[in-house]
């Protein structure tokens, strides 16, 4: 034992590490410190960056729909026909085509102008082509009118094949009505103007001879089942009352109407539904007085006419049904005016857009539905195009000039079909009686006019949110006032978590209950629901009044702050009573069923309607509003309320006079947060409404909201299409809207907190 | 009275009424789901009743009574029902008649006054079938390889359960073979095809390709041989499964035969004692939780949905925890406090209020198409044009949800950090600890409960979220689970099933809403229970944390 106290011969070694080691440790700790600092900073900044990415990315997806078109010269080469009557470019932009005055179809490589194939149409040697008509561009059909009353109809088509896995486009010419010209005018007069179109019943040709006789010819094809040979059945109908001269004639693809531009400002409309008694309907002034119609073409689908005037004006017209079920040619919209007379209108193949050129060499890219002019400038490359040919997928363009050159351009025009204006204003869609707000974004057909008005969706969103707020706000705010100020702390400790659980309920469950349980329930017990909504407060007041007559002893034993416990059975009892009495009420006043009575009296009633959504979504937003409002009220400094009470105010007077004014910004913030939530809620509206995009505030009809619309349509749409981007725009609108709302609410709350701490 | 109004007492009562109504609604909704969801599995009695038909004849129906209601005569007349008398209301019953293969529909409304002689036949049986839904009727005879071995209710019932168990056993074996062995062979074949394609894409030399092809041919032959063997086994099993046939009769006397391989369960509800019913009930719940859905999700269990939800949520938690916690630490401890940070903080908090569908849109556009598309180009070029990660899937769903719940974790962690008394921090620093040591060894451990709270809340939110998932990777029916025995075991690119989406899909896209309604409530109940438990845990943890610091900071 004694040895332990001996001093060692050498000084005892320190238990601390030596200096070098400690320095190393210090360095290592410093490295760790820095590492942790930079690591955390990196993670933190990357999270913030990730959130910023959401915003940036949504913008980058939406941006392109507002950009305009661009046209870039690519190359040029010599053309084989100097003044082509007709030009074309096929789908893959590989083969171009021209038709010259002698009836030679020249197919050439669109890359370098080399000839691929020449086809001479069977025009008699001594005859001249005096008129030309084009049918629906996708069918490739065209007709040539000769100076002896003959007409030749041909089609240019392109066969695709993939020898050795490489695409090969083979142009070919077919003759749907035979290779030889048809003698359509028995008197052999030159054909002044003609129109050709393929319809479901056959091929139709309208001709106007130079002495002003107008006839309509329908060729019905019959195919012999045995031999496979086709024969035509021609029926000819003379049309009366028409103009004597014409520059352009057009027949629509249903073969129901014929339009004739007379050469002055007039366009005439014939109803040829039953060609036997075809009817001249009217003439309209398609351009300003004193000007002439220079060009007239159908947009794809052959419903809309685009009419270009000698003053450079461009207007869209189509047939509109009036109240007597008669069609009239109506002016729909104008496009930006060209500075000179229009020389060609080239419609797009798969959507309602078109290009136009004028005498001064300006090129314009316009779009029907959105009424946009995406480009209007002198043709890039400093040329004066005489004709255009646009690729069917709107990616390339051939311009043919007077000096026999072909200029190839790349065209960028991805999203002409929407504009900010068209999304928020009434638009006159093809086939509709009047301009309207419509959301109907997709369909299988190319001819379909996408209707992308955000108004029905925005209104639907607002409708759902407003009804939900009408239900939720009073309940949530009153609940918050009571819990924070009147309720005994013991009960408060139970009630608050219960309401918080309510916030956690998945909305898909609420939506499912709303759609499958609440909606049928409301339909069956509509009168009970209204009775509950209106009379329940009255019932509560009655209960409160009766409570005064309960023996004082009992009252004092229970004490204040327990009103809820007394009212719960009252609420349950009254609801059950209403439901029980509902059939009786219905029998007495509404002939058995209020819902049926509403329908009989002309109020449309959907089972899944705004009332259902209001209640279900109200239920979902109550806890959001409640917990923020409760916080605000609860945090009102006690000395304020105590002062008020000490001065003799009743608890309610204190509440109205002191607590409410102090906490009102917080309550307002709570309502804003609730509104933000209601606007963005998806599943409840998706499941509890019929999702029809209607524009009204009817309590008994459904709606389609922005969010539900995204959920329904985004998985189905093509990536990068206009529809896709418009849905992104909807998401962006929701994002920005709720973000602003929540930020405002947060700022208000922070201010309030500051104020409380100063009090 | 006037004085009473003036004192404001009635308004206090009115406010109290509001919270009473809220409470009634919450309890009501939870109660509705609980009662409807839990009652589905109870074997209810089968009622036999004769119904008068339009032509005056009587028809016997054996069915479960689903519910009864009172309808207004005008509503009935509107829908074209002819009614005798002029009563304003009629009672009608919804019967689940089953036998979809015989009647064409399995649910029908009948008017009470057309129904008579209700009885509960003891011998009635319920067959739960793999196809065509339930069968309600009576057993006639049981045959093995076309030899009748039992006839009459009692005899058949004595032999039936054991044989059904055997058939189910065989069925399970078949499923097992299909799931493991056949899918292994298919994967092998696919790998060979992709290997070749990859070589071609990488411009491998002809010799290399030839070598690979030779190798592949060998492997393919081996797989083919394997396959033939398994197919043989399968044929065998299928043959065995088809051994027994049960002939049954419907209440109105039509006979049909059901192969035992098509029967999942059989029971005689009317003959069951209460304790048997309880046993059946527990069993049914277990089956519901552990089995796969059948018949377009309208029958069977929800196991894949539960599994998918949990997998996705775990993956999300793995992503969200480190980022959320580190971001919160950064905002609270490292970032320079100032107006910019204030703006950032408010923005981050507000992202919790941005509609979830917006995150879905972002996830689909950015994660799936942009990021996923590029991953495919780089790493899975041989599979194109079939996308691997360029299509919605498990990983993208988890990532989107992680982004969605990040604010929740950040807010909660920050709150926890701010509650830690500065004295503790000062103490640590005063003892010479560096900032990071203070942080990791003192502050973070103390704030762990707050982080857990945030994590649990985010999990609860993620488990209940559906709208964004519809866009980024949840489907109505996923053929396989995202985790299985094939390499790489966790399939991040696979589409998954999800409880919430299951509710949406079955409730609103299903052709037979009436049949799926009880299942819907049951699924909803599972989801609600899961979320309530998670939330309770979070609330409990939070309260505990508050208590703790209240005492420590005193």
Do B179 and B87 share a structural domain? no
Do B365 and B482 share a structural domain? yes
Q: Does residue B58 belong to any structural domain of this protein?
A: yes
Do B477 and B352 share a structural domain? yes
Residue of B nearest to A680 (CA): B355
Q: Does residue B457 belong to any structural domain of this protein?
A: yes
- Average pLDDT for B533-538: 84
Confidence of residue A1 (pLDDT cuts 50, 70, 90): very low
- Average pLDDT for B171-187: 85
pLDDT reported for residue B554: 43
Of B229, B252, B273, which closes a domain?
B273
Distance CA A100, CA A81 (A): 6
Q: Does residue B284 belong to any structural domain of this protein?
A: no
Cβ of residue A581 closer than 8 Å to a chain B Cβ: no
Q: Which of A571, A622, A728 shows the shortest C-beta gap to B361?
A: A728
Cβ of residue B78 closer than 8 Å to a chain A Cβ: yes
Q: Alpha carbon of B493 to those of B368, B389, B474, B524: distances in Å?
A: 10, 6, 11, 27
A746 interaction partners in chain B (CB closer than 8 Å): 346, 349-350
Cβ of residue B1 closer than 8 Å to a chain A Cβ: yes
Do B460 and B353 share a structural domain? yes
Cβ of residue A468 closer than 8 Å to a chain B Cβ: no
Question: Which positions 665-694 of A are in contact with B (Cβ < 8 Å)?
Answer: 673, 676-677, 679-683, 686-687
Q: Which of B22, B356, B501 shows the shortest C-beta gap to A622?
A: B22
**What pLDDT, in 10s, does the model give residues A519-531?**
989 988 888 999 9
Distance CA A549, CA A344 (A): 91
Residue of B nearest to A648 (CA): B7
Confidence of residue A574 (pLDDT cuts 50, 70, 90): very high
B17 interaction partners in chain A (CB closer than 8 Å): 478, 536-537, 540, 563, 567, 570-571
Q: Which of B334, B348, B437 shows the shortest C-beta gap to A51?
A: B348
Q: Does residue B471 belong to any structural domain of this protein?
A: yes
Interface test with A, best of B3, B22, B392 (most A CBs within 10 A): B22
pLDDT reported for residue B389: 84
**What pLDDT, in 10s, does the model give residues B280-322?**
999 989 988 988 888 777 788 889 999 999 889 989 999 999 9
Domains and CATH numbers, chain A: 123-285 (2.130.10.10), 289-436 (2.130.10.10), 462-758 (1.10.3720)
Q: Alpha carbon of B444 to those of A42, B375, B412, B550: distances in Å?
A: 18, 36, 13, 18
Q: Tell me the residue range of the domain where B459 lies.
A: 306-553
**Long-range contacts of the stretch B164-170 (C-beta < 8 A, 24+):** B164/B260, B164/B263, B164/B265, B164/B266, B166/B244, B166/B260, B167/B241, B167/B244, B167/B260, B167/B261, B167/B263, B168/B264, B170/B237, B170/B240, B170/B241, B170/B261
Is there a contact between A734 and B8 if contact means CB atoms under 8 Å apart? Answer: no
Question: Which positions 512-571 of A are in contact with B (Cβ < 8 Å)?
Answer: 512-513, 515-517, 524, 536-537, 540-541, 543-545, 547-548, 563-564, 567-568, 570-571
- Average pLDDT for A648-660: 90
Do B99 and B151 share a structural domain? no
**What pLDDT, in 10s, does the model give residues B420-452?**
888 888 999 999 899 999 998 888 888 888 888
- Average pLDDT for B220-225: 88
Q: Which of B330, B460, B465 shows the shortest C-beta gap to A43?
A: B330
pLDDT reported for residue A480: 92
Cβ of residue A48 closer than 8 Å to a chain B Cβ: yes
Confidence of residue A75 (pLDDT cuts 50, 70, 90): confident
CA distance A94 to chain B (A): 25
Confidence of residue B198 (pLDDT cuts 50, 70, 90): confident
pLDDT reported for residue B552: 57
Do B158 and B103 share a structural domain? no
Is there a contact between B354 and A710 if contact means CB atoms under 8 Å apart? Answer: no
| A731 has a pLDDT exceeding 90 | yes
A36 interaction partners in chain B (CB closer than 8 Å): 435-436, 439-440
B466 interaction partners in chain A (CB closer than 8 Å): 506-508, 682-683
Question: Which positions 189-228 of B are in contact with A (Cβ < 8 Å)?
Answer: none
Q: What is the ipTM of this complex?
A: 0.89
Question: Which positions 442-461 of B are in contact with A (Cβ < 8 Å)?
Answer: 460-461
**Contact between residue A347 and residue A334 where contact means Cβ atoms under 8 Å apart:** no
Of B273, B290, B316, which closes a domain?
B273
Confidence of residue B549 (pLDDT cuts 50, 70, 90): low
Count the domains in chain B: 3
Distance CA A223, CA B346 (A): 75
Range with lowest mean pLDDT among A112-126, A731-745, B70-84: B70-84
Q: Does residue B296 belong to any structural domain of this protein?
A: no
Residue of B nearest to A34 (CA): B436
**Contact between residue A320 and residue A330 where contact means Cβ atoms under 8 Å apart:** yes
Name every residue whose Cβ is closer than 8 Å to that of residue A722 and which is 6 or more positions away in sequence: A65, A414, A415, A417, A418, A450, A452
Cβ of residue B91 closer than 8 Å to a chain A Cβ: no
Residue of A nearest to B520 (CA): A512
Q: Which of B12, B356, B470 shows the shortest C-beta gap to A486?
A: B12
Of B60, B86, B120, which closes a domain?
B120
Q: Does residue B19 belong to any structural domain of this protein?
A: no
Do B476 and B357 share a structural domain? yes
Question: Which positions 484-523 of A are in contact with B (Cβ < 8 Å)?
Answer: 486-487, 495, 497-502, 504-513, 515-517
**What pLDDT, in 10s, does the model give residues B14-45?**
998 999 999 999 999 999 999 998 888 888 88
Range with lowest mean pLDDT among A244-253, A261-270, B97-106, B356-365: B97-106
Q: Which of A35, A497, A738 shows the shortest C-beta gap to B354?
A: A738
Q: What is the DSSP string of A200-236?
A: SS-EEEEEEETTS-EEEEEEEEEE-TTT--EEEEEEE
Task: Locate B317 and state its tokens.
Answer: 């938690």
Is B381 exposed, middle or buried (CB count within 10 Å of its CB: 0-12, 13-18, 19+)? middle
Cβ of residue A593 closer than 8 Å to a chain B Cβ: yes
CA distance A653 to chain B (A): 7
A475 interaction partners in chain B (CB closer than 8 Å): 18, 21-22
Distance CA A237, CA A102 (A): 30
A541 interaction partners in chain B (CB closer than 8 Å): 10, 13-14
Is there a contact between B503 and A508 if contact means CB atoms under 8 Å apart? Answer: yes
Q: Does residue B343 belong to any structural domain of this protein?
A: yes
Cβ of residue A212 closer than 8 Å to a chain B Cβ: no
A585 interaction partners in chain B (CB closer than 8 Å): none
pLDDT reported for residue A732: 93
CATH code of the domain containing B52: 2.30.30
Is there a contact between B10 and A509 if contact means CB atoms under 8 Å apart? Answer: no
pLDDT reported for residue B330: 92
- Average pLDDT for A58-82: 87
Is A111 exposed, middle or buried (CB count within 10 Å of its CB: 0-12, 13-18, 19+)? middle
Question: Which positions 118-157 of B are in contact with A (Cβ < 8 Å)?
Answer: none
Question: Which positions 11-50 of B are in contact with A (Cβ < 8 Å)?
Answer: 11-27, 29, 32-33
Cβ of residue B375 closer than 8 Å to a chain A Cβ: no
| B69 has a pLDDT exceeding 80 | yes
Cβ of residue B69 closer than 8 Å to a chain A Cβ: yes
Task: Locate B205 and state its tokens.
Answer: 């030399």
Do B391 and B539 share a structural domain? yes
- Average pLDDT for A259-285: 88
| A15 has a pLDDT exceeding 80 | no
CA distance A70 to chain B (A): 25
Q: Can you tell me which residue has the tokens 């009727």?
A: B137
Task: Locate A26 and state its tokens.
Answer: 């210090």
Is there a contact between B12 and A32 if contact means CB atoms under 8 Å apart? Answer: no
Mean pLDDT of chain A: 87
Do B508 and B393 share a structural domain? yes
Distance CA A348, CA A446 (A): 11
Q: Which of B10, B26, B72 shows the shortest C-beta gap to A586?
A: B72
CATH code of the domain containing B487: 1.10.3720.10
Do B152 and B93 share a structural domain? no
Do B341 and B428 share a structural domain? yes
Q: Does residue B534 belong to any structural domain of this protein?
A: yes
Helix spans in A386-488 (H): 420-424, 455-481
pLDDT reported for residue A31: 93
Is there a contact between A734 and B517 if contact means CB atoms under 8 Å apart? Answer: no
Residue B146 CB coordination number (10 Å): 7
Cβ of residue B347 closer than 8 Å to a chain A Cβ: yes
Do B362 and B456 share a structural domain? yes
């Amino acid at each position: 034992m004694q040895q332990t106290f001996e001093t060692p011969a050498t000084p005892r070694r320190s238990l601390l590490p030596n200096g070098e080691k400690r320095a190393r440790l210090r360095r290592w700790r410093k490295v760790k410190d820095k590492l942790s600092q930079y690591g955390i900073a990196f993670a933190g900044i990357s999270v913030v960056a990730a959130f910023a990415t959401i915003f940036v990315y949504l913008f980058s997806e939406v941006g392109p729909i507002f950009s305009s078109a661009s046209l870039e010269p690519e190359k040029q080469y010599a053309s084989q026909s100097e003044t082509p009557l007709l030009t074309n470019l096929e789908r893959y932009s590989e083969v171009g085509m021209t038709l010259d005055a002698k009836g030679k179809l020249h197919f050439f490589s669109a890359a370098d102008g080399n000839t691929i194939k020449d086809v001479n149409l069977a025009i008699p040697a001594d005859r001249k082509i005096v008129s030309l008509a084009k049918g629906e561009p996708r069918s490739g059909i065209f007709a040539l009118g000769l100076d002896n009353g003959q007409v030749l109809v041909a089609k240019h088509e392109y066969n695709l094949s993939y020898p050795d896995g490489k695409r090969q486009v083979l142009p070919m010419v077919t003759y749907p009505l035979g290779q030889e010209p048809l003698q359509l005018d028995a008197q052999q007069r030159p054909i002044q103007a003609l129109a050709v179109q393929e319809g479901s019943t056959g091929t139709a040709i309208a001709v106007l001879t130079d002495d002003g006789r107008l006839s309509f010819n329908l060729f019905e094809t019959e195919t012999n089942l045995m031999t496979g040979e086709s024969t035509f059945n021609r029926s000819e109908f003379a049309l009366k009352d028409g103009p004597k001269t014409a520059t352009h004639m057009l027949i629509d693809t249903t073969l129901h109407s014929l339009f004739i531009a007379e050469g002055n400002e007039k366009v005439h409309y014939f109803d040829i539904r039953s060609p036997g008694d075809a009817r001249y309907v009217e003439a309209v002034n398609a351009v300003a007085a004193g000007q002439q119609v220079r060009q007239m073409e159908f947009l794809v689908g052959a419903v809309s006419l685009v009419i270009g005037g000698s003053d450079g004006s461009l207007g869209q017209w189509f047939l509109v049904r009036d109240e007597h079920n008669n069609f009239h040619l109506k002016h729909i919209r104008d496009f930006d005016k060209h500075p000179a007379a229009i020389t060609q209108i080239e419609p797009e193949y798969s959507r309602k857009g078109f290009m136009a050129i004028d005498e001064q060499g300006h090129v314009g890219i316009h779009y029907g539905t959105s009424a946009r002019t995406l480009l209007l400038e002198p043709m890039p490359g400093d040329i004066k195009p005489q004709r255009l040919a646009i690729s069917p997928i709107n990616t390339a363009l051939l311009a043919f000039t007077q000096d026999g050159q072909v200029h190839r351009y790349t065209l960028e025009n991805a999203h002409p079909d929407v504009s900010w204006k068209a999304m928020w204003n009434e638009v006159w869609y093809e086939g509709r009686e009047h301009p309207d707000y419509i959301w109907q974004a997709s369909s299988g057909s190319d001819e379909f006019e996408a209707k992308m008005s955000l108004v029905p969706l925005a209104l639907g969103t607002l409708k759902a949110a407003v009804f939900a707020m009408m239900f939720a706000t009073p309940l949530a705010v009153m609940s918050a006032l009571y819990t924070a100020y009147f309720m005994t702390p013991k009960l408060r400790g139970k009630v608050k978590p219960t309401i918080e659980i309510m916030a956690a309920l998945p909305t898909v469950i609420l939506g499912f209950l709303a759609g499958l349980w609440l909606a049928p329930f409301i339909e069956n017990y509509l009168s009970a629901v209204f009775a509950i909504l209106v009379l329940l407060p009255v019932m509560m007041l009655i209960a409160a009044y009766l409570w005064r007559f309960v023996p004082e002893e009992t009252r004092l034993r229970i004490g204040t702050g327990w009103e809820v416990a007394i009212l719960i059975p009252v609420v349950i009892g009254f609801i059950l009573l209403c439901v029980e009495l509902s059939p009786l009420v219905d029998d007495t006043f509404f002939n058995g069923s209020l819902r049926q009575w509403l329908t009989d009296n002309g109020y449309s009633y959907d089972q899944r309607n705004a009332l259902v959504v209001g209640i279900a979504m109200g239920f979902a937003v109550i806890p959001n509003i409640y917990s923020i409002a409760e916080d605000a009220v609860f945090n009102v400094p006690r000395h304020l309320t105590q002062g008020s009470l000490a001065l003799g105010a009743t608890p309610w007077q204190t509440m109205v006079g002191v607590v409410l004014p102090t906490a009102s910004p917080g309550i307002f913030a709570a309502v804003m947060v609730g509104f933000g939530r209601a606007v963005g809620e998806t599943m409840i509206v998706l499941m509890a409404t019929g999702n029809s995009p209607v524009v009204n505030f009817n309590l008994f009809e459904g709606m389609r909201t922005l969010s539900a619309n995204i959920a329904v349509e985004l998985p189905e749409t093509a990536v990068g299409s206009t529809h896709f981007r418009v849905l992104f725009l909807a998401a962006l609108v929701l994002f920005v809207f709720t973000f602003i709302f929540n930020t405002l609410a947060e700022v208000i709350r922070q201010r309030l907190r500051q104020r409380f701490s100063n009090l | 009275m006037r004085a009473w109004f003036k004192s404001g007492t009635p308004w206090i009562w009115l406010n109290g009424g509001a919270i009473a109504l809220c409470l009634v609604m919450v309890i009501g909704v939870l109660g509705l789901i609980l009662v409807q969801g839990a009652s589905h599995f109870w074997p209810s009695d089968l009622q036999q009743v004769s119904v008068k038909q339009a032509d005056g004849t009587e028809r016997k129906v054996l069915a479960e009574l689903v519910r009864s209601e009172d309808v207004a005569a005008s509503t009935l007349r509107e829908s074209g029902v002819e009614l005798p008398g002029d009563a304003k209301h009629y009672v009608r019953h919804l019967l689940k008649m089953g036998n979809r293969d015989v009647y064409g529909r399995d649910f029908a409304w009948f008017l009470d006054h057309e129904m008579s002689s209700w009885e509960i036949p003891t011998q009635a049986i319920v067959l739960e079938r793999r196809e065509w839904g339930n069968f309600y009727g009576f057993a006639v005879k049981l045959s093995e390889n076309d030899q009748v071995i039992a006839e009459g209710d009692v005899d058949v019932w004595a032999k039936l359960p054991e044989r059904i168990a055997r058939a189910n056993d065989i069925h399970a074996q078949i499923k097992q073979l299909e799931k493991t062995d056949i899918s292994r062979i298919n994967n092998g074949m696919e790998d060979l095809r992709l290997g070749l394609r990859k070589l071609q894409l990488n411009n491998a030399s002809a010799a290399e390709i030839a070598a690979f092809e030779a190798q592949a041919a060998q492997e393919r032959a081996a797989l083919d041989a394997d396959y033939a063997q398994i197919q043989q086994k399968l044929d065998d099993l299928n043959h065995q499964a088809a051994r027994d046939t049960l002939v049954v009769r419907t209440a109105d006397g039509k006979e049909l035969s059901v192969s035992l391989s098509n029967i999942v369960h059989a029971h005689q509800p009317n003959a069951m004692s209460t304790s048997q019913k309880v046993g059946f009930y527990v069993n049914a719940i277990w089956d519901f939780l552990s089995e796969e859905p059948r018949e377009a999700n309208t029958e069977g269990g929800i196991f894949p949905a539960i599994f998918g939800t949990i997998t996705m949520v775990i993956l999300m938690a793995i992503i969200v925890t480190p980022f959320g916690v580190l971001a919160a630490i950064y905002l609270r401890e490292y970032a320079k406090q100032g107006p910019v940070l204030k703006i950032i903080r408010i923005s981050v908090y507000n992202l919790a209020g941005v509609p979830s569908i917006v995150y879905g849109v972002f996830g689909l556009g950015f994660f799936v198409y942009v990021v996923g598309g590029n991953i495919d180009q780089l790493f899975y070029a041989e599979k194109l044009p079939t996308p691997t990660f360029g299509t919605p899937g498990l990983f993208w769903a988890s990532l989107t949800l992680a982004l969605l719940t990040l604010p929740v974790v950040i807010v909660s962690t920050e709150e926890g950090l701010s509650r830690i008394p500065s004295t503790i921090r000062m103490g640590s620093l005063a003892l010479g600890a560096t900032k990071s040591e203070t942080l990791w060894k003192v502050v973070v451990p103390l704030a762990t409960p707050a982080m857990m709270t945030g994590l649990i809340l985010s999990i609860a939110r993620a488990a209940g979220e559906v709208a964004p998932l519809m866009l980024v990777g949840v489907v109505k029916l996923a053929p396989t689970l995202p985790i299985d025995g094939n390499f790489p075991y966790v399939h991040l690119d696979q589409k998954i099933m999800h409880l919430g989406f299951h509710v949406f899909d079955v409730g609103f896209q299903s052709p037979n809403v009436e049949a799926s309604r009880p299942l819907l409530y049951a699924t909803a109940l599972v989801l609600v229970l899961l979320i309530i438990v998670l939330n309770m845990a979070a609330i409990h943890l939070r309260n505990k944390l508050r208590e703790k610091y209240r005492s420590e900071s005193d």
